[in-house]
Amino acid sequence: MKYLVRDKIFAVGDDYWIEDEFGRHAFLVDGKALRLRDTLELKDPDGRILITIRQKLLSLRDTMTLERDLAPLATIRRKRLSLIRNHYRVTLVEGTELDVGGRVLDREFRVDYDGELLALISKQWLTVRDTYAVEVVREDADPALLVAVAVCVIRMAEREREGD
């Protein structure tokens, strides 16, 4: 299943619908304004919060956290000791690790688990300007989690680029 995400829309205070490949509303991204730290909520079409995305404030490296039902779900960091600049590691609370790598700033990257492709993020085949697709490859994968991971690593890569 593919999810279409409009690029450059995820500012704090912005709300935006992510659509599936058939044009149906799949997720609402709710940017929480007036918060001390960067916070987004990924909601289902009925308004239920699926995942909360937060920038971690007190961290040596840029870190974002994902929460589900007010409980920690995952931590996302740029991978240390990697020769590839845009390489991130997602550590789920139960210990599972996902690798994210590719040309993140170009919106051409992938999310893998143990060498197996979970999601492909690309804008290569899209004609809609400033839009990229999150294609969830495995049927048993969590689409909300993979969309949240894509949003996080793009935000982190852009912040890192701005810091250069």
What would the pLDDT profile of 81-120 be if each residue is shown by its tens digit?
655 567 899 999 999 999 999 999 899 999 999 999 999 9
Q: In angstroms, how far is CA 33 from the centroid of its own chain?
A: 19
Strand partners, 31: 40
Alpha-carbon distance of 28 to 150, in angstroms, equals 15
Here the tokens at position 54 are 């937060």
Torsion of CA 1, 114, 104, 152, to 10 degrees: 80
**Residue 106 CB neighbour total at 10 angstroms:** 14
Alpha-carbon distance of 12 to 35, in angstroms, equals 9
Give the global pTM. Answer: 0.88
Low-confidence ranges of the chain (pLDDT < 70): 8-14, 32-37, 56-61, 81-85, 126-128, 163-164
Distances, alpha carbon 69 to alpha carbons 34, 48, 97, 120, 123, in Å: 22, 10, 21, 26, 31
Mean of all residue pLDDT scores within the chain: 85
